[in-house]
Every structure is written in C-alpha cells, then in structure tokens.
Amino acid sequence: MAAKFGTSGLRGLVGDLTDGTAAAHARAFARHLKSSALAENGSPVYIARDMRASSPDIAAQCAAALAAEDLIPVDCGVIPTPALALYAMGKGAAALMVTGSHIPDDRNGVKFYRPDGEIDKNDEAAISALAAQPSATTNPLPNAIANEAAQALSGFIARYRGFAPDRGFSGLRIGLYEHSSAASDALAMVLEEAGAEVTRLGKSQAFVPVDTEAVSGETRSLASGWVREHRLDGLVSADGDGDRPLVVDETGSVIRGDALGLMVARHLNADAVVTPVTSNSGIEQHCDADVTRTRVGSPFVIAGMQAALKDRRRRVIGFEANGGVLTGNPINSGAAMLEALPTRDSVLPILCAFAAARAQGQSLSTHVASLDLPVAASDRIENFPTSRSQALVVRLSGDETACAAFFAEIGEVASIDRTDGLRVTLGDGRIVHLRPSGNAPEMRVYSEATDEAAAQVLIEDTMALIKSTAEA
C-alpha cells in the first residue's frame, strides 16, 4: 500500500488506490466507526467525489467496501467537500470524499469524516492499522445506491442565504473560473443569490489541478486576462474539491489565502483564530482575536480550534495559508446563521472578502492593502521526492552550522522555527520557510519580505539552492 495519509486524507497515485487500497481503507474506516460507537450496522455513510477521471471508480470501490461492512453507502455525486461534510454532520452520519484536491490527475485520495467532522491523527493511525490487516475480497455492489446529491448541494447553498441581505452584492461583476472544480455550481448560485452578476469562465471537462496556495503562472495569466477583458470587480475559483478558495482582485492580482482568512476573522469578529505557522506573520498584529499557530494540516488546526472551544471562545475561526476557512461555533452574519463547519470551506472566505471590502466602500485591492500585512509569497518544486525533501529539512534543522552555510548566499540566519519544516528568519527580517508537502512529492517554499518583488526573489533563490543541493 503505497498510498498514505498526508496533511488532509489518504493520498497516492491512482494505481496505488484502485488496487484495493482505497477499499481497504474504507473497510477499515467502517470498522473503526463501529468499534468507536460512531456507527452501527445499517448506518448510512455519505459519499461524494471530485471530477477526476479516477474518482467514480474509487468511489464505487469504497461504497462496496462500506456495504461489505454492513453500512449503507449513499451517493452524493460531485459536490464540494464542505457541502458533503455539512450534509453528513446534519444527518449525524459519517462521510467519505474521493478527491486529490489540487494535485495532478494521476493521483487521487480519500477524505474521511466522522459524524462530528474530520477524522483526527488518532483516527488515521487506527484506520491505517486496520487497513493493513487481511480482509475478504470486496465484491461490487449488487444494486444501485440512493442518490442525495441534490439535497446535499441545496443545503450547502441555503447555509449562505442571507449572508449579504437584500441582494447586498448587487452591482458587483464577479468572474468564476470553473475549470473542473466541484464547487463551481455552488459558488455561482450563492453569488447570484447575493445579487452579483456572475460570468462563468474556463469550464473544463478534463481535470485541471488548480493549487490555490502556490498559484501557477498559467492560472494567474488566465485570471488577470479575464478580469481585464470582462471588466470584473474580482474573480473567484476553488480547487478540485472546493475546500480552498482562489480570489483575484480587480487589478488581476491573486489575494493570498492567509489574507482571506484574516478578512474572515475580522468580518466575523472572531475571538480566537487558529492558523498554521506558514500563514503570514503579521496576522497577530492585525487581528483582535487570540491567535494560535499550529503545524500545517486541517487536523492540527481543528485540534487548536477544539482547545479554543474548551476555553469557551464564542467565535472560533481556523484557516490555512491556502485560504480554506473552518468555523468552530454557530456564527451569525447578515441574515444568515452559519452552523459550525470544522472543515475547510472555500465559499465563506470568498463571501467575506467581497462583503468586507463593500462594507468599507473599497475595491478588493484597496481593502487588502489596508490590512497592511507583510508581503508574502509561496511556490513549490514539483516532482521532488519526499524522502529527499525530508532529508534536507532534517539536516538543516538539526545542524545550525549547515543551515547557516546553506543560506549564506541569501543572508545571515537570525533564528529558526521547527514547528513544521524549517522556517528561517534572516538578519534583515526576511523569512523563508521550507516544508515537504504531505500530499505529493513536492517541496513547498514560503517567503516574506518588504515587497512582492523581494519576496519572489527570495523564493526563487531558495528554490535554486534546493535544486543545486539535490543535484550535488
């Protein structure tokens, strides 16, 4: 079983999932649910998927595996991950999402949800152990299963009804880059109900791996071109399973995910914010809430949110540098009452970005500038073996002399943060962060500097050093 759990669910090459590995993990999930008294024989498990070519097959294998364990799989079709989670939680049931999120089409994955939300690291360990045990061959489902895709999607759209009262987005021209995102229909309907004029663009029948954290040059070029061509007030999109947003301002510039998260926290008057160490270092200074930093990955953010809830915080917000936002409490906004949704969602940050800017009578770009955050950038080295990236980070983290020598061409190392990967603050205040991806063979590189050009140069120089070291 080459597939394994990463920062968000089980991930691997398609062949490493369709060979029975995805089904084995689905059976293990079923056993874990029953042994933990979270389900019993005859309980429903809701299943949805993204638009990858392999997702229908993997979803069918998982459904058969659940049925073999005497649970009842219910098909929710192609809908966003947060829509599936919201629907299943409302039913008090578990769920399973077949998606590889933003990674290429030759890979895929499975996300697992207990009746109360995402599984945690302890659940992952239990499921992995059970999946490794021998089990009987899973046969295909003998009958068609119930389909509740329409109900799940309509419930998700209803969640945001009234967020912008009295069609509060009237007059806004918003582009929607559809590509192959499971969230495209939901985003269009939510924004149109809020009064915006939505221009749908770039729909693709083939899967397009849009990464909202390390946005590609091709995606940036497409988005900025559409913004100019259609004279848009902004453009939005989401990744493959719709839990990470992409927002482009009226100038064609991409708004970073951590800036979106900060806008949500401010707009909803959060009293506690939980975000990974990779998010912008200026968040603490520009947010009234208490801020907790974690390792990268929704399980760690959720654990931090649960701690805040135990401290009786009333408006707990979690977000990641990719822009996905989680809510820990029921929170009202406008005429909407947003039920707690402790899993990444792309719709809430998109709505908050436009609502916050409009409340101040500002464009998106002006509002983002008013946040006065340090300038940050991020990128990735693709097809970089995980073992190699992990070895480099371990070596530099454990040897200050080696770390200083590695970064000598860039600047003097002033301090090191080992919370997740290697985060280095240089003597002039610039920050560079190396982190092996938990989902794909990639090295993620983050930076902060005084301006965008300097932040990008720092990324490029660091990536060049990594590549040269790997080739040596």
Q: Which amino acid makes up residue 436?
A: P
**Residue of 55, 101, 333, 378 marked catalytic:** 101
Whether the CB-CB separation of 174 and 236 falls below 8 Å is answered with: yes
Report strand pairing: 422-426 vs 431-436. Answer: antiparallel
Q: Is 101 a catalytic residue?
A: yes
Residues 6+ apart with CB under 8 A from 26: 61, 62, 63, 65, 66, 96, 110
Q: Got the DSSP string for 372-406? A: -PPEEEEEEETT--HHHHHHHHHHHHH-HHHHHHH
Structure token pair of residue 338? 């947003």
Q: Which amino acid makes up residue 5?
A: F
Whether the CB-CB separation of 356 and 367 falls below 8 Å is answered with: yes
Whether the CB-CB separation of 211 and 239 falls below 8 Å is answered with: yes
Residues 6+ apart with CB under 8 A from 331: 268, 315, 337, 338, 340
Burial of 284 (0-12, 13-18, 19+ CB in 10 A): middle
Q: Tell me the torsion sign for CA atoms 274, 277, 280, 281.
A: positive
d(CA 178, CA 192): 15
Q: Which amino acid makes up residue 369?
A: A
Residues designated catalytic: 101
